[in-house]
Chains A and B, each alone.
Chain A
Amino acid sequence: NFMLTQPPSVSESPGQTVTISCTASGGNIGRNYVQWYQQRPTSAPTTVIYEDNQRPSGVPNRFSGSIDYSSNSASLTISGLKTEDEADYYCQSYTDINQAVFGGGTKLTVL
């Protein structure tokens, strides 16, 4: 079964850069696109990265996505951290039988 694994939590200071990883198992990370979603407390998720490294309109360029084929993982990098970036972040991709799969989520704390 294709699965995505994220660290439960990360923390960093305002102004710094943080990277959240998303490691695939049971399949190749590069076979399908990876998305990233931000969910602030008590709110619905929103998309911050789609198709590995594309930003929807309105998402600042402080957010970037990448794929590391050697480690079979995807990463979300947020630079110039702001307190408003404090949220849960989920990676998402697909199986070969048209199912979406989410990672377990990472809680970002901006200290």
Chain B
Amino acid sequence: EDQVTQSPEALRLQEGESSSLNCSYTVSGLRGLFWYRQDPGKGPEFLFTLYSAGEEKEKERLKATLTKKESFLHITAPKPEDSATYLCAVQAGAGNMLTFGGGTRLMVKP
């Protein structure tokens, strides 16, 4: 059974204090790893897709990386508007569904 574990569950940062969120996965035949952002009361918003170990993607203050066992979402000089829950999900094997981790709730204080 595919498993996705995110850590930490919650993270408090000061504005400008860079950090990383972790997503560890155990799957058979990874086809893609996805990062989403979810604001309260909203649906998940797509951020990145990573397909192969060593791949990196960047968007504004966010950078996602992938190894054979985990992915990191690096947040550089975060701002209060980056506060949200960040979700990691994997697509593996023959199925097309996503298996999600529990998320990391990020709070950035001004």
- The reply to whether chain A is a binding partner of chain B is no
